[in-house]
């Protein structure tokens, strides 16, 4: 990126007074981070600045807190390790935070999901109002509208040849998300509280003979004329009261006195929790490595030491999900203007105007990547990274932008550096440095984007080995590059390598421009195959996503210590 464009960027970004966390800097008008909304009031169009960042974070936290376990498999289907696709919903939501409107088939390609599978997930989110969708029978013109819009929002160029098909588009429904999160938190808290207090819960009954389950809503059918008890519809066995999950253990016999004692104890416990002032750090000491805490015995002991929001505490014990970051985030987002991309049509129209004003749309721009594999470039909104900030309330939009120490660079990042063009090398030369030391292998990269696909795991292993071997080579190359100002040097990837990576680059071309900016901060560009056909490996995101995940976990821990 040359100085002029850089200046231009700065000029555009200053007014919103936001230091960006993202490594991908905003593109001019239609920056992925900042969306300008033309609101028509009587003073004419007014430019409003909406900062996406906190909302993106919100979505990512939401995904992890509530959709972690989502699987497209129904319960009766046999779960094998291979077909277990839990976490897939998180991946999809994360990807959507990097987009505005996106064509679903492109998304599927990008995530390497079967279109059907993705549709199922998206439909699920649509039902929950998390996602807006639009379907239309695409004419050449319609497809072009979308391509133009994508080009305008990314600076990338869309594939021109699109067949006449019905295409579905989707977009995160940011205006709804705030309410959804609030509602979900509210429900969860209430449910837990009710369960703890044994209130508002529909009593469950079970048949000791045939294990059938009933609840109080079946009462009318279960009541018998002969005696006082409820009877199983199936075997006429006498039903017993099922104890609730949180506080189960001892009362399996349905003994009322035991039940009452337990409840009294629980109530007592709740009072203690509300009274005592004890820090969470102590909780961690007590729990130590204890993974799951059953019943109230342990809890009771702990509670002598603790006073935390007991609802949160129990949620943490039972679900092992940290929802405090989510609650913090929702509070932060509360008064911010909500990003709204509007309907697909409106979005396209706006993007088109933006492009025209900027004079930006030039399909022949050599800086733009060449379309291939029928892919449509997407607006790239930054890497997956969920941060949990503690204590301070105002850190929401502050940046850790240049903080590369947080980001563990997987080796294939460096390989991408190799794919950069001469121009890029030229403009980045001065900042370039290869930091191979920081590019440790990230162990759980696979989880994020590959959704646990065993085949891809193998591939990843292969890549690790391969890249490890390449690192040395790259170091040398980079050194060379620094010496020669115009490195026309070409490292030809071996044929197997090329074929393996080619199926990973589908749909990712457009990210090149954003990612090249990231590399300015992180990785030296190392030239390879200078034929202008840039390869961008999907694993970049996987790595980023997973390293983001690691950060999240770490910070969650911290959260418990400090919160």
Partner 1 sequence: MFFHIVLERNMQLHPRFFGRNLRENLVSKLMKDVEGTCSGRHGFVVAITGIESVGKGLIRDGTAFVTFPVKYQCVVFRPFKGEILEAVVTLVNKMGFFAEAGPVQIFVSKHLIPDDMEFQAGDMPNYTTSDGSVKIQKECEVRLKIIGTRVDATEIFCVGTIKDDFLGVINDPAAAA
Instruction: Give the shortest CB-190-to-partner 1 separation in angstroms.
Output: 11
75 binds partner 1 (CB under 8 A): no
Q: Which of residues 229 and 281 has its CB atom nearest to partner 1 in the complex?
A: 229
Number of residues that bind partner 1 (CB under 8 A): 22
Residue count (the chain): 563
Instruction: Give the shortest CB-250-to-partner 1 separation in angstroms.
Output: 16
Determine the interface stretch with partner 1 among 85-93, 216-224, 412-420, 422-430 (rule: CB under 8 A). Answer: 216-224
Q: Which of residues 198 and 282 has its CB atom nearest to partner 1 in the complex?
A: 198
H or E segment and range at residue 317: helix 310-319
Beta bridge partners of 36: 49
Buried b (16+ CB within 10 A) or exposed e, 89-116: bbbbbbbbbbbbbbbbbbbbbbbbbeee
Which of 40, 220, 225, 492 lies at the binding interface for partner 1 (CB under 8 A)?
A: 220
217 binds partner 1 (CB under 8 A): yes
Site for partner 1 in 105-134 (CB under 8 A): none
Instruction: Give the shortest CB-313-to-partner 1 separation in angstroms.
Output: 23
Instruction: Give the shortest CB-263-to-partner 1 separation in angstroms.
Output: 6
Instruction: Write the burial class of residue 24 (CB in 10 Å: 0-12 exposed, 13-18 middle, 19+ buried).
Output: buried
Determine the interface stretch with partner 1 among 25-33, 48-56, 219-227, 335-343 (rule: CB under 8 A). Answer: 219-227
What's the rounded Cα separation, in Å, for the pair 57 and 69? 19
Which of 79, 114, 260, 433 lies at the binding interface for partner 1 (CB under 8 A)?
A: 260
Instruction: Give the shortest CB-245-to-partner 1 separation in angstroms.
Output: 14
Q: Which of residues 230 and 560 has its CB atom nearest to partner 1 in the complex?
A: 230
**Closest alpha carbon to 475 in 520, 529, 518, 415:** 415
What DSSP letter does each residue of 74-140 carry, written as one string?
A: -TTSPP-TTT--TTHHHHHHHHHHT-SSEEHHHHHHHHT--HHHHHHHHHHHHHTTSEEEEEEEPPH
Instruction: Give the shortest CB-228-to-partner 1 separation in angstroms.
Output: 4
Determine the interface stretch with partner 1 among 258-266, 346-354, 365-373, 473-481 (rule: CB under 8 A). Answer: 258-266
What's the rounded Cα separation, in Å, for the pair 527 and 421? 6
What's the rounded Cα separation, in Å, for the pair 388 and 61? 9
253 binds partner 1 (CB under 8 A): no
Beta bridge partners of 34: 51
Q: Which of residues 175 and 254 has its CB atom nearest to partner 1 in the complex?
A: 254
Alpha helix (H) residue ranges in 367-444? 411-418, 422-428
Give the three-class secondary structure for 146: helix
**β-pair type (166-172, 131-137):** antiparallel
Instruction: Give the shortest CB-191-to-partner 1 separation in angstroms.
Output: 12
Q: Which of residues 204 and 395 has its CB atom nearest to partner 1 in the complex?
A: 204
Instruction: Give the shortest CB-194-to-partner 1 separation in angstroms.
Output: 9
Instruction: Give the shortest CB-257-to-partner 1 separation in angstroms.
Output: 10
For residue 62 the two structure tokens come to: 């939401």
The sign of the torsion formed by the CA atoms of 347, 118, 26, 175 equals positive
241 binds partner 1 (CB under 8 A): yes
Binding mask 173-212 for partner 1 (x = CB under 8 A): -------------------------xxxxxx---------
Residue 300, CA atoms < 13 Å, CB-side half-sphere: 12
Please give the residue ranges that form the binding site for partner 1 (CB under 8 A).
198-203, 215-220, 223, 228-230, 241, 256, 259-260, 263-264
């Amino acid at each position: 990126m040359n100085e002029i464009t850089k200046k231009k960027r700065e000029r555009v970004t200053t007014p919103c007074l936001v230091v960006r966390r993202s490594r991908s800097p905003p593109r001019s008008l239609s920056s992925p981070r900042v969306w300008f909304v033309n609101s028509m009031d009587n003073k004419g169009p007014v430019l409003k600045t909406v900062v996406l960042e906190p909302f993106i974070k919100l979505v990512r936290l939401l995904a992890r807190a509530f959709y972690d376990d989502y699987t497209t498999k129904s319960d009766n289907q046999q779960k094998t390790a291979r077909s277990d696709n839990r976490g897939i919903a998180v991946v999809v939501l994360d990807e959507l935070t990097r987009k505005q409107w996106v064509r679903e088939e492109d998304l599927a390609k990008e995530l390497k999901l079967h279109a059907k599978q993705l549709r199922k997930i998206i439909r699920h989110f649509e039902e929950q109002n998390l996602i807006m969708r639009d379907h239309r029978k695409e004419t050449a013109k319609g497809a072009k509208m979308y391509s133009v819009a994508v080009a305008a929002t990314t600076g990338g160029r869309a594939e021109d040849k699109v067949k006449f098909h019905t295409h579905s588009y989707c977009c995160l429904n940011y205006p709804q998300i705030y309410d959804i999160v609030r509602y979900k938190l509210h429900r969860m808290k209430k449910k837990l509280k009710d369960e703890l207090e044994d209130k508002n819960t529909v009593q469950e009954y079970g048949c000791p003979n045939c294990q059938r389950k009933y609840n109080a809503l079946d009462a009318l059918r279960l009541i018998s004329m002969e005696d006082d008890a409820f009877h199983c519809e199936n075997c006429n066995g006498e039903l017993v009261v099922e104890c609730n999950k949180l506080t189960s253990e001892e009362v399996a016999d349905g003994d009322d006195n035991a039940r009452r004692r337990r409840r009294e104890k629980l109530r007592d416990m709740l009072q203690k929790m509300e009274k005592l002032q004890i820090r969470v750090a102590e909780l961690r000491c007590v729990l130590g490595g204890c993974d799951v805490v059953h019943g109230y015995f342990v809890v009771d002991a702990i509670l002598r030491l603790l006073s935390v929001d007991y609802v949160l505490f129990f949620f943490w014990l039972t679900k092992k999900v940290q929802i405090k970051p989510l609650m913090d985030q929702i509070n932060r987002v509360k008064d911010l203007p909500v990003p709204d991309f509007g309907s697909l049509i409106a979005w396209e129209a706006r993007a088109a105007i933006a492009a025209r004003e900027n004079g930006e749309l030039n399909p022949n721009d050599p800086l733009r990547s060449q379309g291939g594999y029928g892919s449509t470039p997407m607006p790239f909104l930054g890497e997956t990274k969920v941060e949990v900030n503690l204590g301070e309330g105002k850190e929401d939009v502050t940046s850790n932008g240049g903080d590369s120490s947080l980001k563990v660079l997987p080796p294939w990042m460096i390989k991408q550096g190799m794919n950069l063009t001469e121009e890029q090398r030229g403009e980045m030369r001065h900042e370039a440095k290869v930091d191979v030391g920081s590019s440790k292998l990230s162990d759980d990269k696979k989880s994020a984007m590959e959704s646990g696909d065993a085949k891809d795991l193998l591939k990843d292993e292969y890549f690790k080995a391969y890249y490890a071997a390449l690192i040395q080579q790259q170091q040398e190359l980079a050194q060379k590059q620094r010496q020669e100002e115009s490195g026309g040097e070409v490292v030809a990837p071996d044929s197997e390598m090329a074929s393996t990576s080619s199926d990973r680059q589908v749909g990712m071309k457009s990210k090149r421009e954003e990612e090249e900016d990231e590399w300015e901060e992180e990785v030296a560009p190392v030239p390879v195959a200078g034929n202008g056909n840039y390869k961008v490996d999907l694993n970049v995101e996987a790595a980023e996503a997973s390293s983001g995940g690691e950060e999240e976990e770490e910070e969650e821990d911290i959260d418990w210590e400090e919160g």
